[in-house]
Amino acid sequence: MKMCKIFLSHHALLIIFSLILCSSITVRSQLTTDFYQNTCPNLLQVVRQQVKIALVNEMRMAASLLRLHFHDCFVNGCDASVLLDGSDGEKFSGPNKNSARGFEVVDTIKSAVESECSGVVSCADILAIVARDAVLLSGGPSWKVLLGRRDGLVANQSGSNSNLPSPFETLDVIIPKFNAVGLNITDVVSLSGAHTIGLAKCATFSQRLFNFSNTGAPDSTLDTNMLSDLQNLCPTTSDGNNTAPLDRNSTDLFDNHYFKNLLNGKGLLQSDEILYTSNLSVTTTKPLVESYSSDSSLFFKAFANSMINMGNISPLTGSAGEIRKNCRVVNS
Ligand code: HEM
Ligand SMILES: *[C@@H]1O[C@H](CO)[C@@H](O)[C@H](O)[C@H]1NC(C)=O
Ligand SMILES: *[C@@H]1O[C@H](CO)[C@@H](O)[C@H](O)[C@H]1NC(C)=O
Ligand SMILES: *[C@@H]1O[C@H](CO)[C@@H](O)[C@H](O)[C@H]1NC(C)=O
Ligand SMILES: *[C@@H]1O[C@H](CO)[C@@H](O)[C@H](O)[C@H]1NC(C)=O
Ligand SMILES: *[C@@H]1O[C@H](CO)[C@@H](O)[C@H](O)[C@H]1NC(C)=O
């Protein structure tokens, strides 16, 4: 705050400048990259090693772990609320039920961290480090993870239902959901690029395949070869649990192929494809999709920046919340 006062002056431009500077200092200064330097110096190596083991066992786990950090941060901030067990927890919200996965892997990583330095590292910070490592080990960018989050005391199932975007929503609904947690249109597009890895169930895209929006025909923006593959995978009689790659032909690799797909009508979810095809996209998301599809390093830089933005959503710091011993339950 002292720094801010130095810049205050009667000159309007300087005041505006110091407001921008001060607000960015306030946001950024809550978390730091060296938070555990003295209390858990080997933290990053321990987590990296555990993520490696998990991916050797199942490559898709990179995607599942990355998604957990997203589903955590959009609900009550990045406070590990998504990890809390209980029928009233976020695990049973619409977006997570029979869908969010990787909880056992997080338990294993937390145990390894507890063995290294007991009672010090929050589950929320573990999710943030794990997400970075999952991306890096899938061939994506790296970034310095900001740390110092503490774990929340409550899950919020209704918050999970209302704050997380749905694959059936249009851009005029999805963009405000990102805005509501302080993220902008650049973040919407770059973070959607997380769909360069992982799988989705038929139930999340089959509305596009046969009678889209009661037109009596499939979604006309969907590539016809991909359409017939997906119709075979997801017949109207199926239970919706079959899965398809979010990024066809580059399923486990973190690259910019997801954006190339959008240009070719090969986005899997409706919420993916509309970033390029909807009327609203023309002045908002489409130019970014085009840029990222043709410039992988631009996408990587934007993704890393947006992951830091997402990781900064309303962290609990200082003496708020707690350091959970077991990520599934609040301390007794
Ligand atoms: C833009 C709004 C978004 C929507 C509507 C959306 C929706 C979805 C849906 C429906 C699935 C498939 C779930 C299933 O079938 O079980 C999924 C998977 C996934 N999402 Fe998103 N998502 C969005 C943004 C994000 C963001 C911001 C990230 C991370 C930064 C992310 C990461 C992932 C990953 C990695 C998967 C694959 C998970 C796995 O294979 O286990 N998504 N998403
Ligand atoms: C749950 O999330 C909603 C939407 O973000 C918020 O308004 C509400 O205060 C939260 N409730 C709790 C108990 O955290
Ligand atoms: C979104 O915020 C980033 C900073 O994180 C900024 O570089 C970018 O220009 C903003 N995008 C839009 C569309 O305002
Ligand atoms: C598509 O769905 C609408 C509404 O349910 C229905 O009236 C129409 O007959 C369906 N069209 C086809 C070709 O199944
Ligand atoms: C999909 O599988 C889950 C178990 O993983 C099951 O509970 C659910 O009922 C299945 N979905 C449908 C639509 O049958
Ligand atoms: C791309 O992936 C689809 C399904 O995942 C597969 O049917 C097709 O043969 C693949 N095409 C190439 C060129 O690898």
The model's pLDDT over 279-299, given as tens digits with 9 standing for 90+, comes to 999 999 999 999 999 999 999
Which ligand is in closest contact with the Cα of 98?
5
Lowest mean pLDDT among 11-25, 41-55, 191-205, 211-225: 11-25
Catalytically annotated residue among 69, 71, 195, 257: 71
Strands (E) located in the chain:
199-201, 243-245
Q: How many CB atoms lie within 10 A of CB 222?
A: 21
Report which residue type is found at 259. F
Q: Give the binding-site residues of ligand 3, using a 6 Å CB cut-off.
A: 184-186, 305, 309
Instruction: Please indicate whether residue 23, judged by its CB atom, sits closer than 6 Å to ligand 4.
Output: no
Rounded-to-integer distance, Cα 201 and Cα 197, Å = 14
For the stretch 293-319, pLDDT in tens is: 999 999 999 999 999 999 999 999 999
Tell me how far the alpha carbon of residue 254 lies from the centroid of ligand 1, in angstroms.
Answer: 14
Determine whether 257 is an active site residue: no
Give which of 196, 195, 187 is closest to 301, Cα–Cα: 187
Please name each of the domains of the chain with its CATH number: 43-163 (1.10.520.10), 171-309 (1.10.420.10)
Closest atom of ligand 5 to 203 CA is: 13
Indicate if the alpha-carbon torsion angle 44, 47, 49, 51 is positive or negative.
negative
Can you list the alpha helix ranges (DSSP code H) found in 89-243?
Answer: 103-116, 123-137, 157-163, 171-179, 185-192, 224-233
Give which of 31, 198, 179, 50 is closest to 113, Cα–Cα: 50
pTM of the model: 0.93
Indicate if the alpha-carbon torsion angle 181, 186, 188, 194 is positive or negative.
negative
